[in-house]
A and B are shown apart, each in its own frame.
Chain A
């Protein structure tokens, strides 16, 4: 009786776009488990039919934490939708209540019905009436929860495509994912293996991501979250990370200072100009940046070595390079290859020494807990005397438990009440307790790393506050024996919490789309409430499936990446929704539609054009692509972050961003067009179907053969630059051809000059002169260079190039 065939609601319709496939069938929100399932899960029913229409409107107002019902000691407690796990927690509460009953007038009635009907003592009185739609919905829920049928509809989520949603085909998915995560186009062989089937895609892309480019991409993403690059320096005498260490704890730290070292040199001062000091400062820099990047290095180490991602919070080691190993005094633990390569990292365990008095000192292993105990993490989220690690607790929940504690506790405070009426409001004043009873125990786990300001010192005997909730997590108090290493106790508990996997999925979603996960709507009076809820359900369904597979893989991060890329969230590009408002409502959480970050656009340009958009071509080539406009001079203006004061990426295009993109397109087209014509046909990147002499008209007459070649070259360009495969008679090819034709006609009427910057005398790829000189293209007597330049500019500033 609980079976509901959702597919029958919507007939599949044919909808064809280039490089895309329409899911012929599949699950819709409410379907369960893997594709092909067709019964609606109890969880889905609860959310759709009970939570939104009934409990969110009739119950949660009193039964929420801090609500009237809680004050009166009610057992039935509901979490508002601002809690990340509200759905499962509330369903569990409903199950518990549904399976308790009262004898009402000689009839057994579930508590979940008897209370809201007011048939038994209920503080809120009768809030439902028998026969109402709300009662019917609640009654069916009780029926589900008290019958064995519920077991057959367990809900694990699904990444199946919603009916009628158009997805990128596997070839296009491979191109998109390769550009996005690897900064390159797939090879022909990779297309052949990974572009025709899901199994082929999975196998091929799984192999492809084992590359440095993937880790570079993810390092950027991890820093977007952690913001610890704030401590990365470009000058060995700017020791932002080293300054966090105390020389008493790490005596070698002193030798990395600006004062005179053992050799008597002051390489950050008096002797700065001496040649030998360049190497000294380089070692300072290597040490500083290894410490600054410890968290991101650990993320990469764990993922690269296929270790459980949970190690980011539980690892009993840190990572050091030769220089930071020296600073930390752990060179005895590591074996480097002897080259003092700053990029070579090894795991090591730190030791601490505390000198309490002349006769009492303590020395032992430092209680590592992944990134939680790293100097830059603790400094980036500092403690204060009154904050008492609460900010760190909030960050831990936000990053690793998918919980925004501020939303949970977001309610007005009354300073009069907090100051005058209660002692220790965080323990005793309802509006404060709601949040602090969750947050403060986690804060307590940081108790031995509570030094204020920017310093990083471990004090195993640090006392904790008596006017705060004791250290713990999720209702479990930390045993006193763990107080000296509270984060080693906390880390395993966080990663065992189901929300940890959810947080990983949400992180990936933001990394790939630039957006935060949808928030379940709370305003039931909003006319769009049902639509928003439906959208959330669909996204949540996919998230849970990915989280489950991530967990089942032993928390292999790459599994989560692959699942996200396979899912409709990454691949959805359209939907059969014409005139069907209800169906469209469920698709607000899928599809990427992301303005490329400056880093992504820089990498995409290099992959597709063969060279970068550089401030100085010579320096860019010499630095192996590290001198691009988008990653240097225009980085912040194009929406980048500095991890210090600018920490949110701009995700919406502004006039400035549009101006930058237009300039990029002009400059890149300028440098690429004439240059491509200097090469033999077979070696060209863009113009393999035409010669520089191929013109569409001659003596005022069309030249059909040439026009066909030009149009086919335009087809190639659309695929090469935009990744769209179009027939040569499509309106878009016609639009581009008309741009070519009109520009060509104008060019042949206005002489043969092309701007000096656009003349092909040097290769933009190697910055070497093009030889022989006769191969250089320095003028445009036939007008084709300018016409093709216009086409390249047009394509490089197209939405499909600038977004993904």
Chain B
């Protein structure tokens, strides 16, 4: 099928939008040459860390004390540079302790804190979607998917996910890599023993011949197909077949099982695999995820445990990023569904609250800053979008829409096809000045 004809069909095929297998991006894509080796991705890497369930920023970066935080009084709130932090220490499941003081002192020059984010929802699904896609309504992909589709199309682990918000809306395949034990078998499908290069099922020439015939047949079928559901599925299958050569590279970078087994913190463990995928050039964005934040009961203990895993994981992950000499190439963002109420319920728990915070570090992010604020009852204060300072006369509040418009700009995908198909109409804010 020639491109003109394909595009004619593709416009109509958009009617299946919202249906997972239908890749909107494919509708406008040039047919890819078959059997061509993709270059490893070498742009920035984006790690999105999801604190699942709705975290409590008042126990970290937006402390209040007193009746909002029974563990400390306002006078005990600590500070490190521009940051205020809750005077709390958390346990990473007994493996190590980490205090807010340690965390904020360590990252005071690298960290950007966004406080007083108006989420406009206290629903888990909606909040998670808003935080990671920048859009309240259903059907929008996470920024990770847009980045992968725009910057690293065809890479086999373009969008690697360990949970969190995963509705890709079809812009890019979602990849889970639940175990590295089997990756060699997957990356080296033509070797009976993946670790023995001397023996192959088929000669290299035959394997190439098989794959060429496969791609030619699939392309012919897609060209002849006239039902949108089938045609788009075929085109998506065709595109995905091109990343196999890069999976082999992943083998060179994956940490050993010993290293992963020792990295018992879930964020670190997920992060090490994600970093390996990035170093191999097969991934541009990854979701890391840790749960336990939906603390409707025994909030201070339960939330503290979850925060221990999260902050310790981020701390260890940043060390790993530095050790790999990737400080200037990796962006890390921490967010959650929403915040938690400024009052405790009768089970000593805290319920859902539509004001939250985010943490950002890494390439292109000017650290040592706090943008946005809440008042003494943890309500979002107005923000002057020009000066980025809290203002009680300002009517605008910091919100995921504006944050994502900035993030898209930071990632360089603002005008990419996938981003244009899922536009965000918000108020511009320059969170990441160059």
Contact B247 A656 (CB under 8 A): yes
Check if B166 sits within 8 Å of A648, measured CB to CB: yes
Which of A104-112, A265-273, A786-794 is found at the contact surface with chain B?
Answer: A786-794
Q: Determine whether the beta carbon of B229 is less than 8 Å from that of A590.
A: yes
Within 8 Å of chain B (Cβ to Cβ): is A260? no
Inter-chain contact A658/B156, CB cutoff 8 Å: yes
Looking at the assembled complex, report how far the CB atom of A151 sits from the nearest CB atom of chain B, in whole angstroms.
32
Measured between C-beta atoms, what is the minimum distance from B214 to chain A in Å?
6
**Is B173 part of the contact surface with A, judged by Cβ < 8 Å?**
yes
B14 to chain A: closest residue by CB? A528
Determine the distance from Cα of A655 to Cα of B156 in the docked complex, in whole angstroms: 4
Q: How far is the CB of B129 from chain A (nearest CB, A)?
A: 10
Check A659 against B189 for contact (C-beta < 8 Å): yes
A240 interface contact, C-beta 8 A: no
Query: Is A701 an interface position by the 8 A CB rule?
Result: no
Among A133-141, A230-238, A529-537, the stretch that binds chain B is A529-537
Q: Collect the chain B residues with CB atoms within 8 Å of residue A595's CB.
A: 21, 233, 237
The one of A386, A415, A593, A645 that contacts B354, using a Cβ cutoff of 8 Å? A415
Query: Which of B80-88, B119-127, B308-316, B385-393 lies at the interface with chain A?
Result: B119-127
Alpha-carbon distance between A684 and B147 when the two chains are bound, in angstroms: 50
CA distance A82 to B248 in the complex (A): 45
User: What residue in chain A is nearest B210 (Cβ atoms)?
Assistant: A794
> Could you say which of A95-103, A169-177, A731-739 contacts chain B?
A731-739
B416 interface residue (CB < 8 Å to A): no
Write the B194-205 contact mask toward A (1 if CB under 8 angstroms, else 0): 000001111101
Known A-B contacts A637-B186, A742-B209; the reply to A415 vs B202 at CB < 8 A is no
Inter-chain CA distance A797–B9, complex, in Å, is 27
> With a CB–CB cut-off of 8 A, which chain B residues contact A588?
12-13, 15-16, 19, 228-229
Taking a contact as CB atoms under 8 Å apart, the answer to whether B192 and A757 are in contact is yes
State whether B296 touches A384 (Cβ < 8 A): yes
**Contacting pair B126 A659 (CB below 8 A):** no
Instruction: Give Cα distance in the complex from A371 to B168, angstroms.
Output: 32
- Assuming the contacts A593-B230, A739-B209, asked whether A410 and B182 have C-beta atoms less than 8 A apart, the reply is no
CA distance A414 to B121 in the complex (A): 8
Instruction: Give CA–CA (A736, B214) in the complex, Å.
Output: 10
Q: Interface size (B, Cβ < 8 Å)? A: 94
**What's the minimum C-beta distance from B182 to chain A, rounded to whole angstroms?**
6
- One of B95-103, B217-225, B257-265 at the interface: B217-225
Output the least CB separation between A14 and chain B (Å). Answer: 14
- Are A655 and B354 interface neighbours, CB within 8 A? no
A477 at the B interface (CB under 8 A): no
* Cβ-based interface call for B206 (8 A): yes
Please tell me if the beta carbons of A410 and B126 are within 8 angstroms of each other in the complex: yes
Q: Is A798 within 8 A of B214, CB to CB?
A: yes
Residues of chain A with a CB closer than 8 A to B121's CB: 412-413
Give the residues in chain A near B174, CB-CB below 8 Å: 650, 652, 654
Report the nearest A residue to B202, measured CB to CB: A790
Most A Cβ at <10 Å: residue of B16, B123, B137, B347: B16
Which secondary structure dominates chain A's binding surface? mixed
Known: A593-B21, A659-B244. A799 touches B136 (CB 8 A): no
| Cross-chain contact of B202 among A594, A654, A789 (Cβ < 8 A) | A789
Q: Are A655 and B166 in contact (CB under 8 A)?
A: no
Whether A385 pairs with B173 at a CB distance below 8 angstroms is no
Q: Given contacts A387-B296, A515-B21, A799-B218, are A654 and B156 in contact (CB under 8 A)? A: yes
Which residues of chain B are within 8 angstroms of A803 by Cβ–Cβ distance?
A: 233, 237
Say yes or no: A516 contacts B19, CB within 8 Å.
yes
| With A637-B179, A666-B190, A790-B206: A656-B346 Cβ-Cβ less than 8 Å | no
Q: Contact between A655 and B173 (Cβ–Cβ < 8 Å)?
A: yes
Contact with A along B16-29 (1 / 0, CB 8 A): 11111101000000
State in angstroms the CA–CA spacing of A670 and B185 once bound together: 15
Decide if A653 is an interface residue (CB 8 Å cutoff).
yes
Q: Whole-angstrom distance from the CB of A775 to the nearest CB of chain B?
A: 23
| Chain A residues whose CB sits within 8 angstroms of the CB of B221 once the complex forms | 799-800
Query: By the criterion CB–CB under 8 Å, are B379 and A416 in contact?
Result: yes
**B138 lies within 8 A of chain A by Cβ:** yes
* Chain A residues, Cβ within 8 Å of B18: 516, 518-519
Residue count of chain A within 8 Å CB distance of chain B: 96
The answer to whether A790 touches B291 (Cβ under 8 A) is: no
The reply to whether B186 and A656 contact each other, CB–CB distance below 8 Å, is: yes
Point out the residues of chain B lying under 8 angstroms from A352, CB to CB. none
* Residue A591 interfacial (CB < 8 Å): yes
A416-B379, A655-B173 given; A758·B201 CB < 8 A: yes
Q: How far is the CA of A165 from the CA of B225 in the complex (A)?
A: 12
Q: Is the CB of B170 within 8 A of A652?
A: yes
**A631 vs B221: C-alpha distance in the bound complex, in angstroms?**
30
Residues on A with beta carbons closer than 8 Å to the beta carbon of B137: 410
A750 to B204, CA, bound (A): 12
B427 interface contact, C-beta 8 A:
no
CB-based contact B13/A655 at 8 Å: no
Flag whether A575 is at the interface (Cβ < 8 A). Answer: yes
Chain A residues with CB under 8 A of B126: 406, 410
Asked if A406 contacts B213 (CB within 8 A), the reply is no
A790 and B210: CB pair below 8 A?
yes
Which residue of chain A is the closest to B294 with respect to CB atoms?
A384
Q: In the complex, are the beta carbons of B247 and A655 less than 8 A apart?
A: yes
CA distance A653 to B246 in the complex (A): 16
Least distance between B393 CB and chain A CB atoms (Å): 15
Minimum C-beta distance from A297 to chain B (A): 28
Contact flag A633-B182 (CB < 8 Å), given A415-B379, A658-B241, A739-B209: yes
User: Given A518-B18, A645-B163, is A656 in contact with B9 using a C-beta cutoff of 8 Å?
Assistant: no
User: Which of A406, A415, A532, A648 lies at the interface centre, i.e. has the most chain B CB atoms within 10 A of its CB?
Assistant: A415
B240 in contact with A658 (CB, 8 Å): yes
CB of A600, distance to nearest CB on chain B (Å): 15
Asked if B297 and A453 sit within 8 Å, CB to CB, the answer is yes
Most buried by A among B181, B199, B210: B210
**Which residues of chain A come closer than 8 Å to B271, judged between CB atoms?**
none
* Least distance between B73 CB and chain A CB atoms (Å): 23
- Which chain A residue shows the least CB distance to B246? A655
> Which of these, B177, B192, B209, contacts A670 with CB under 8 Å?
B192
Contact present for B227 and A591 (CB under 8 Å): yes
Determine the chain A residues whose CB is within 8 A of the CB of B120 once the complex forms.
412-414
Tell me if A407 is interfacial: C-beta within 8 Å of chain B. Answer: yes
Contact between chains at A790 and B15 (CB < 8 Å): no
| B214 A655 Cβ-Cβ under 8 A | no
Inter-subunit contact A653/B16 (CB<8 Å): no
Q: Report whether B186 and A660 are in contact in the complex, using a CB–CB cutoff of 8 Å.
A: yes
The distance in angstroms between the C-alpha atoms of A202 and B374, with both chains bound, is 65
Q: Within 8 Å of chain A (Cβ to Cβ): is B357?
A: no
* Contact partners of B187 in chain A: CB under 8 A: 659
**Which residue numbers of B lie inside 8 Å of A, CB to CB?**
8-9, 11-21, 23, 118, 120-123, 125-126, 136-138, 155-158, 163, 166, 168, 170, 173-179, 181-182, 185-187, 189-190, 192, 199-203, 205-206, 209-210, 213-214, 216-218, 220-221, 225-230, 232-234, 236-237, 240-241, 243-244, 246-247, 282, 291, 296-297, 345-347, 349, 351, 353-355, 379-380
Q: Which 3 A-B pairs have the closest CB atoms?
A: A655-B156, A663-B189, A591-B229
What would be 14 A-B contacts, judged by CB atoms less than 8 Å apart? A412-B136, A414-B120, A518-B16, A574-B225, A575-B227, A585-B12, A587-B229, A634-B182, A652-B170, A657-B175, A658-B244, A666-B202, A732-B217, A798-B217
Contacts A587-B229, A590-B229, A652-B173 known; 16 new A-B pairs at CB < 8 A: A386-B351, A577-B9, A588-B229, A591-B228, A593-B232, A652-B240, A655-B240, A656-B247, A657-B173, A666-B190, A742-B209, A743-B202, A746-B206, A758-B192, A798-B218, A803-B237
Q: Footprint of B on A, CB under 8 Å?
A: 165-166, 384-387, 406-407, 410, 412-416, 419, 452-453, 514-516, 518-519, 528, 531-532, 534-535, 572-578, 581, 584-585, 587-595, 633-634, 636-637, 639, 645-646, 648, 650-660, 662-663, 666-667, 669-670, 731-732, 735-736, 738-739, 742-743, 746, 750, 755-758, 786, 789-790, 793-794, 797-800, 802-803
